[in-house]
């Protein structure tokens, strides 16, 4: 068996590892053997030197080790292949691949491959490598993805800002084959145009699939306002569900244009309207004569230090919406900030409702769908939360 450099944990800091939590923070580490390179696989040991498992190390990151295996299971190509095959089976067993051809194929810690994100758009893979440890295994990972998935193409979108924490520059580009400039995906009978090269995240908000289905079920006969609409996923779902109209508001003009194209693609363009505007300014300056309002902003909290400012932003959006909407209106309000959990998000919305002086009920709570699994050992990776409200 290959010999790996060792890191040693402080007394009492081995408990999370024994409970299979994949993150080891810098403060838990008592020592690192000389010559241990950032990005290298290490043997994680307790204070006495007893081996606990293997992970990859990066001394410049607050999360200094991300575990890949526990006990004596070797970290090699066979392990990665096993994890990829397991990820495929999860998507099949939960029915994700029946309702859509656009899904998250690998979700980091949720598929026990921390630092790796893979999305599949009609069998074109888009990968994000977020950590130095996975970067060091990049060629192995790419080869295994090609072997396991046999994709039409593979494109890299490793341009996430978090790579800088790992000491990595951003990178995007073609890896295998020729990824089309635009891919048309299907989701619950609807079609959407996706640009994986220039779109946000990897091109589409895959994680809102369940909420789009919810909106389609409750939109019949309602007028709909879709704030932070991006390429109009919620708007198209609402119109397909029988909405009288859907107004898409986004600060990006190209996103609004794509939202209009998606409405036309589904034969719904006559009831769709795009507004190029900042959602905060739009709410402050406009009445809200709509029956159903969707608030799906980007992640305001990128780290723990920005949580307070993010909460102020979420409160302002919800306050203006709740204060101005008509009696009986429904509001789907969302947060994709990992550092704001459901309890805190609900408290923020409670504060907005209290300040607005309106009676508000929670009708439904939501999370990300089955292709974004959360390891029970690492609940911190759950990030998307939503509340469906009725405002009286």
What distance in Å separates the CA atoms of residue 25 and residue 44, rounded to the nearest whole number? 12
CA 309 to chain CA centroid, nearest Å: 21
As beta bridge partners, residue 330 has 292, 390
Residues of the chain with pLDDT under 70: 1-2
Same domain, 229 and 375: yes
Query: Is residue 163 a contact partner of residue 130, using CB atoms and an 8 Å limit?
Result: yes
Both tokens assigned to 93: 């067993």
Same domain, 34 and 142: no
Query: Is residue 121 a contact partner of residue 187, using CB atoms and an 8 Å limit?
Result: no
The last residue of a domain, from among 70, 89, 121: 70
Same domain, 262 and 329: yes
CATH of the domain at 82: 3.30.750.80
What distance in Å separates the CA atoms of residue 215 and residue 236, rounded to the nearest whole number? 10
Task: Kindly state whether residue 296 falls inside one of the protein's structural domains.
Answer: yes
Same domain, 159 and 214: no
DSSP state of 131: S
What's the pLDDT tens digit per position in 24-51?
A: 999 999 999 999 999 999 999 999 999 9
Q: What is the enclosing helix (H) or strand (E) of 378?
A: none
CATH of the domain at 12: 2.30.130.10
Same domain, 238 and 363: yes
What HEC string does 165-219 produce? HHCCCCEEEEEECCCCCCEEEEECCEEEEECCCCCCCCCCCHHHHHHHHHHHHHC
Task: Kindly state whether residue 361 falls inside one of the protein's structural domains.
Answer: yes
Same domain, 155 and 259: no
What distance in Å separates the CA atoms of residue 58 and residue 163, rounded to the nearest whole number? 12
Q: Which residue, 296, 298, 257, 299, is CA-closest to 275?
A: 257
Select which of 45, 311, 336, 378 is catalytic.
336
Task: Kindly state whether residue 145 falls inside one of the protein's structural domains.
Answer: yes
Same domain, 127 and 100: yes
pTM higher than 0.75: yes
pLDDT at 304: 86
Same domain, 381 and 289: yes
Same domain, 89 and 219: no
**Domain count within the chain:** 3
Both tokens assigned to 212: 């789009």
As beta bridge partners, residue 170 has none
Task: Kindly state whether residue 187 falls inside one of the protein's structural domains.
Answer: no
Task: Kindly state whether residue 199 falls inside one of the protein's structural domains.
Answer: no
Same domain, 170 and 274: no
Q: Is 105 helix (H, G, I), strand (E, B) or coil?
A: strand
Same domain, 252 and 121: no
Same domain, 63 and 94: no
* 336 is an active site residue: yes
Task: Kindly state whether residue 44 falls inside one of the protein's structural domains.
Answer: yes
Q: Is 88 helix (H, G, I), strand (E, B) or coil?
A: helix
Q: Which residue, 351, 344, 360, 296, is CA-closest to 319?
A: 351
CATH of the domain at 330: 3.40.50.150
Tell me the H-state helices in the chain: 15-18, 77-93, 96-99, 132-136, 138-149, 209-218, 233-240, 253-265, 279-285, 307-324, 342-356
Task: Kindly state whether residue 190 falls inside one of the protein's structural domains.
Answer: no
Domain of residue 47: give its range. Answer: 6-70
CA distances from 200 to 51, 160, 165, 223, 263 (A): 41, 10, 20, 27, 19
């Amino acid at each position: 068996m290959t010999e790996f450099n060792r890191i040693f944990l402080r007394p009492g800091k081995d408990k999370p590892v024994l409970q299979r939590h994949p993150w080891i923070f810098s403060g838990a580490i008592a020592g690192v053997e000389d010559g241990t390179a950032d990005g290298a696989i290490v043997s994680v040991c307790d204070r006495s030197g007893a081996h606990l498992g293997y992970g990859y190390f990066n001394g410049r990151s607050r999360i200094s080790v991300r575990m890949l295996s526990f006990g004596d299971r070797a970290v090699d190509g066979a392990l990665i292949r096993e994890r990829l095959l397991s990820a495929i089976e999860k998507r099949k067993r939960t029915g994700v691949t029946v309702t859509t051809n656009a899904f998250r194929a690998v979700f980091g810690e949720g598929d026990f491959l921390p630092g790796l994100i893979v999305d599949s758009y009609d069998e074109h893979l888009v990968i994000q490598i977020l950590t130095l440890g996975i970067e060091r295994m990049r060629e192995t990972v790419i080869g295994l993805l090609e072997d396991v998935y046999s994709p039409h193409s593979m494109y890299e979108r490793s341009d996430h800002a978090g790579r800088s924490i790992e000491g990595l520059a951003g990178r995007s580009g073609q890896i295998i084959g020729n990824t089309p400039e635009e891919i048309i995906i299907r989701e619950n009978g609807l079609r959407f145009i996706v640009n994986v090269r220039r779109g946000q995240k990897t091109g589409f908000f895959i994680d809102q699939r369940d909420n789009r289905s919810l909106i389609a079920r409750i939109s019949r006969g309602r007028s709909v306002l879709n704030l932070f609409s991006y390429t109009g996923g919620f708007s198209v779902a609402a119109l397909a569900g029988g909405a009288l109209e859907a107004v898409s508001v986004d600060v990006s003009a190209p996103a609004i244009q794509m939202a209009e194209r998606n409405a036309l693609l589904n034969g719904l363009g006559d009831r769709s309207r795009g507004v190029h505007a900042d959602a905060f300014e739009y709410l402050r300056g406009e009445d809200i004569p709509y029956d159903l309002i969707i608030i799906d902003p980007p992640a305001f909290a990128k780290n723990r230090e920005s949580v307070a400012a993010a909460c102020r932003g979420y409160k302002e959006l919800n306050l203006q919406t709740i204060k101005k909407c008509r009696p009986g209106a429904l509001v789907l309000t969302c947060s994709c900030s990992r550092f704001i959990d459901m309890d805190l998000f609900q408290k923020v919305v409670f504060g907005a409702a209290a300040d607005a002086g309106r009676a508000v009920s929670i009708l439904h709570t939501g999370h990300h769908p089955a292709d974004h699994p959360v390891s029970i050992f690492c609940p911190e990776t759950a990030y998307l939360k939503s509340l469906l409200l009725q405002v009286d």
